[in-house]
Amino acid sequence: MLDDFFIRALVAGIGIAFVAGPLGCFVVWRRLSYFGDTLAHSALLGVTIAYSLEFNIAVSIFLISSVIALILIQLQRKTNLPSDALLGLLAHSSLAVGLVVIGFLTFIRFDIMGLLFGDILAVNKKDLFIIWFGGALILITLKIIWKPLFASTVNYELAEAEGLNPDRAKAVFTVLLAAIIAISIKLVGVLLITGMLIIPTAMARNLSDNPQKMVIFSIIGGLLSVIIGLFSSLEFNTPSGPSIIAAALVLFIFSLLKVKQTIQLKN
């Protein structure tokens, strides 16, 4: 069954949606969209390093993204630049360096469009293993740090005063973010991974009144986006990443109708 490229892409996408839902909620709650973007852009550098050193792509992206996150933390401490400027600096420079390195690696043929926007044909059986095994690890880790991470998202001082160690939870969460980017790059592409994290979550926010519901709805939203997106990618021969994100956008627009209804009910 997994011999069919479309089934493989579908299984991969479903695995990613399960992980992107809960992580995406924290990205939105903690206002980390642009941070996620920066990590994702740096992933391209990870890909080129993987190719030139004949290294596993997912592991390479994971390492590079983690390094970028560490550099960011150091820059935030040692410079007087605001965070968004530092994020922009790292995002664009790592994307640029990645593309420059690709230019040098003339002996390897790169599908740049595939790297940037995802490729439905690119997912092989090994990737499926990485996505589902890595995804399960990410979810288990998130479950373990859920309490301190969530408490410090609501109020950092409260979490610290009551002995929950929010700094450790934050560091672990950054690593998880790097990990999901590493496992989803083939299907969604460098430029659109953050969309996969935040658009289904934004939809879920419109439909939920408590955090648990929001997590569940964002998983459902992600699953629907993947399924609808991949089928239309197959049908219209469009790149997989943009198709999935476009499907997520449509779902988000539908969820706005619900918001409008509740506002009318309140009035």
Partner 1 sequence: MSIENNVLVKLNNVGLKQNQKWLVQGVSLQVEKGKIVTLIGPNGSGKSTTAKIALGFYKNIEGNVEKYTSNIGYVPQKISIDWTLPLRVNDLMLLTENLSDEVINESLTLTGVKHLKDKSLANLSGGEFQRVLLARAISKKPDLLVLDEPVQGVDFTGEIELYELIKELSLKLNCGILLISHDLHTVMSATDHVVCLNGHVCCCGSPSEVAKNSEYKALFGEQASQTLAIYEHKHDHVHTTDGEIKKK
Task: Report the half-sphere exposure of 169 (CA within 13 A, side-chain side).
Answer: 21
* DSSP single-letter state for residue 121: T
- Does 157 participate in binding partner 1 (rule CB under 8 A)? yes
When the beta carbons of 26 and 62 are compared against partner 1, the nearer one is 26
- Does 161 participate in binding partner 1 (rule CB under 8 A)? yes
**Residue (of 20, 16, 8, 19) closest to 200 by Cα position:** 20
- Does 205 participate in binding partner 1 (rule CB under 8 A)? yes
3-state helix, strand, coil in the chain (%, to 5): 85, 0, 15
Q: How far apart are CA 73 and CA 197, in angstroms?
A: 22
Report the residue from 121, 211, 256, 260 that binds partner 1 according to the rule CB under 8 A. 211
DSSP line for 1-56: -TTSHHHHHHHHHHHHHHHHHHHHHHHHHTT-HHHHHHHHHHHHHHHHHHHHHT--
Per-residue binding letters, 93-132, with partner 1 (x by CB under 8 A):
----------------------------------------
Taking the complex as a whole, the smallest distance from the CB of residue 213 to partner 1 amounts, in Å, to 8
- Does 235 participate in binding partner 1 (rule CB under 8 A)? no
Among 74-82, 135-143, 182-190, 209-217, the segment contacting partner 1 (CB under 8 A)? 209-217
- Does 146 participate in binding partner 1 (rule CB under 8 A)? no
Structure tokens at 126: 């090994």
Report the residue from 14, 89, 99, 151 that binds partner 1 according to the rule CB under 8 A. 151
- Does 150 participate in binding partner 1 (rule CB under 8 A)? yes
Report helix, strand or coil for 108: coil
Taking the complex as a whole, the smallest distance from the CB of residue 162 to partner 1 amounts, in Å, to 5
Q: Which residues bind partner 1 (CB under 8 A)?
A: 28-29, 31, 147, 150-151, 153-155, 157-164, 205, 208-211, 213-214
